């Protein structure tokens, strides 16, 4: 079951661009960073869905006798993606997203 996403991509994109416009910072470079942020946002949601579906550890099997559990790589990748998203927001000089009610810890 995938995580319920409250914020839609168009709403998120519009919010970021609106904030850039209000700071007179809507140059092509910053708008390109917004698209990078949107790409990471989509990846983040896929990673969260994978963790939700498969858990933080997953079963592996090389043969009938060689099997066990290992960490789900999506967990560490999620941390990296979140860090990059925060760096993009810093580069855009955006500290918080106005009216953003998306919650990453909503795994119900």
Taking only the tens place, the pLDDT of each residue in 56-103 is 999 999 998 999 999 999 999 999 999 999 999 999 999 764 554 444
Comparing CA positions, the residue from 52, 49, 50, 44 lying closest to residue 81 is 44
Cα atoms in the 13 Å half-sphere on the side-chain side of 78: 17
Global pTM?
0.78
pLDDT in tens, 24-68: 999 999 999 999 999 999 999 999 999 999 999 999 999 989 999
92 phi and psi, to 5 degrees? Answer: -85, -5
Do 7 and 102 touch, CB atoms closer than 8 A?
Answer: yes
Confirm whether 4 is domain-assigned: no
pLDDT in tens, 1-32: 444 556 799 999 999 999 999 999 999 999 99
- Measure the CA–CA gap between 85 and 7, rounded to whole angstroms: 15
Task: Provide the number of structural domains found in the chain.
Answer: 1
Q: Tell me the Ramachandran region of residue 47: left when phi exceeds 0, alpha when psi lies from -120 to 50, beta otherwise.
A: alpha
> In 26-105, which ranges are E strands?
57-61, 67-71
Comparing CA positions, the residue from 54, 86, 46 lying closest to residue 72 is 54
- Measure the CA–CA gap between 17 and 10, rounded to whole angstroms: 10
Do 19 and 98 touch, CB atoms closer than 8 A?
Answer: yes
85 is in which domain, residue-wise? 9-91
């Amino acid at each position: 079951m995938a995580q319920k996403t409250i914020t839609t991509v168009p709403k998120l994109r519009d919010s970021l661009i609106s904030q850039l416009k209000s700071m007179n910072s809507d140059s092509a470079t910053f708008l390109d960073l917004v698209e990078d942020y949107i790409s990471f946002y989509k990846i983040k949601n896929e990673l969260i869905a994978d963790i939700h579906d498969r858990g933080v550890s997953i079963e592996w099997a090389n043969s009938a006798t060689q099997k066990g559990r290992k960490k789900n790589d999506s967990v560490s990748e999620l941390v990296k993606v979140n860090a990059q998203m925060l760096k993009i927001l810093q580069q855009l000089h955006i500290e918080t997203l106005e009216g953003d009610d998306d919650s990453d810890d909503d795994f119900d």
